[in-house]
Amino acid sequence: MIRVGVNGYGTIGKRVADAVAAQPDMEVAGVAKTQPNFEAHTAVERGYSMYAAIPERAPLFGDAGIEIAGVVDELVADADVIVDCTPSGIGAENRSMYASYDTPAIFQGGEDASVAQVSFNARANYDDARGADTVRVVSCNTTGLSRLVAPLEEEYGVEKVRATLVRRGGDPSQHSRGPINDILPDPIGIPSHHGPDVQTIFPDLSIETMGLKVPATLMHVHALNVTLGSDVTAAHVRQLLESQSRVYVIPEGIGLDGAGRLKDFALDAGRPRGDLWENCVWGESIAVEGRDLYLFQAVHQESDVVPENVDAVRAVTDSADAEESIERTNETLGIGLAGDPTGFNDSDRVGAEAADD
């Protein structure tokens, strides 16, 4: 069993902990928090050992009726791998602590790429992270773009990606960002950080990205134009994307015409927290003119990086190859379960397979 510690138990950390707990080859060594708030109580109810992320605050947990197993250093010493899910910038500060215990560390996309040896997306470059000491799972938007670029690049070659990212203004629990009522070019400077971030996975890719923030908490939505290396048909691209396990091509005619309905659908389907781990590509939007592909996709910022973190754990411990890991993660989380008439959980979609010609 791979013992995984999760430092930072917020939006991403709590999902990563639950996903790790669901793996047959992993267990949660513990989670670290700075304060005994409601999430700390939930973590304890889920059976996760609690560690104080800031040692001086350890007594606060006892005062709140939460027994702690120790301080974060002890968790790092005890774990085989640490997944750092602290707010942007704190991961870099924690890096030396992980190194001092020789504990491989997985960071999140809010950190600069320089925090880790490898920037990671399971579909695109799993092997680069095998046995690495430090890995950064790229951000939600970069994950969403990488999952599309990888099969397109393999199948057709990619000359240029142009993406406009309509970014949610904050997560549902981020009241610090609201109430909000505005539309912001964010960042105003072009390109946005996403293009260069995708190049941490695809160094030779030509990509330009622009970002806007809107007053929504649901998902990000991307408008993409990709110039491919060869002439294609929309039907062929669709077939390729339908074969990708972490891409859900939304069928026409079922009313999933926006991010709100996608989230509702995920809740109706019994997804934990209404999570949508897959890129959601509107099938109807897939259009091709010569070598130019156009499409819209939605990316659930709170959850698309979660399966990637699970795969990153297997990569750094070199305990499975890409196909095995992706398949196991998908199976345990319920990505690719059979029996859904909409195709949302289509068992034929497997890890790294591309569409047949």
Ligand X SMILES: NC(=O)C1=CN([C@@H]2O[C@H](COP(=O)(O)OP(=O)(O)OC[C@H]3O[C@@H](n4cnc5c(N)ncnc54)[C@H](OP(=O)(O)O)[C@@H]3O)[C@@H](O)[C@H]2O)C=CC1
Q: Please give the helix or strand (H or E) that residue 257 lies within, else none.
A: none
Burial class (CB in 10 A: 0-12, 13-18, 19+), 97: middle
Stretch that binds ligand X15, among 45-53, 78-86, 137-145, 233-241 (CB under 6 A): 137-145
Residues within the interface to ligand X (CB under 6 A): 7-8, 10-13, 32-35, 37, 39, 53, 85-88, 90, 108-111, 139-140, 171, 301-302, 305
Token look-up 């993660």 returns 329
CA trace torsion 75, 78, 82, 84 (10° rounding): 10
Nearer to ligand X15, 153 or 197 (CB): 197
**Partner from ligand X, ligand X15, none contacting 314, C-beta within 5 to 8 A by type:** none
User: Is residue 139 within the footprint of ligand X15 (CB under 6 A)?
Assistant: yes
Stretch that binds ligand X15, among 58-66, 121-129, 133-141, 256-264 (CB under 6 A): 133-141
Give the bridge partners for 137, in sequence order.
120
DSSP state for residue 48 in the 8-state scheme: P
Q: Is 141 annotated as a binding residue?
A: yes
Segment interacting with ligand X15 (CB under 6 A) among 46-54, 66-74, 116-124, 139-147: 139-147
Residue 195 annotated as part of some ligand binding site:
yes
**CA atoms of 328 and 319, how far apart (whole Å):** 12
Does the annotation place 325 within a ligand binding site? no
Instruction: State the binding partner of 30 from ligand X15, ligand X, none, CB within 5 to 8 A by kind.
Output: none
Provide the minimum distance between the beta carbon of 262 and ligand X in the complex, in angstroms, as a whole number.
16
Residues 60-119 that bind ligand X15 (CB under 6 A): 109-110
Separation CA 19–CA 266 (nearest Å): 17
> Among the options 53, 75, 124, 140, which is catalytic?
140
* Least distance to ligand X, CB of residue 320, Å: 23
> Choosing among ligand X15, ligand X, none, which partner's interface includes residue 342 (Cβ < 5 to 8 Å by kind)?
none
Which of 140, 150, 281, 333 binds ligand X15 (CB under 6 A)? It is: 140
For residue 196, the Cα-to-chain-centroid distance in whole angstroms is 18
The listed partner (ligand X, ligand X15, none) that binds 10, CB under 5 to 8 Å by sort, is: ligand X
Taking a C-beta distance cutoff of 8 angstroms, is the pair 169, 214 a contact?
A: yes
CB of residue 67 to ligand X15, shortest distance in Å: 32
Q: How far is CA 336 from the centre of its chain?
A: 17
Q: Any catalytic annotation for residue 140? A: yes
What are the angstrom distances between the C-alpha of 258 and each of 60, 261, 263, 298, 299? 43, 6, 9, 9, 11
User: At closest approach, how far in Å is the CB of 44 from ligand X?
Assistant: 13
Cβ 128 to ligand X15, closest distance in Å? 20
Helical H segments across 22-127, by residue range: 38-45, 58-63, 72-78, 90-100, 122-125
The secondary structure of 139-189 as a DSSP string is: PHHHHHHHHHHHHHHHHH-EEEEEEEEEEESS-TT-GGG-S----EESSSS
Smallest separation (angstroms) from ligand X15 to the CB of 12: 9
Nearer to ligand X, 228 or 312 (CB): 312
Q: Which of the listed partners (ligand X15, ligand X, none) does 141 bind, with a CB threshold of 5 to 8 Å by partner kind?
A: ligand X15
Is 110 annotated to bind ligand?
yes
185: cis peptide before it, omega within 30°? no
Long-range CB pairs of 178-185 (<8 Å, 24+ gap) are 178/215, 180/215, 181/215, 182/213, 182/215, 183/212, 183/213, 183/214, 183/215, 184/212, 184/213, 185/210, 185/211, 185/212
Name the binding residues for D-glyceraldehyde 3-phosphate.
139-141, 194-195
Positions marked catalytic: 140
Name the binding residues.
11-12, 110, 139-141, 168, 194-195, 301
Task: Give the binding site for ligand X15 (CB under 6 A).
Answer: 109-110, 139-142, 167, 194, 301
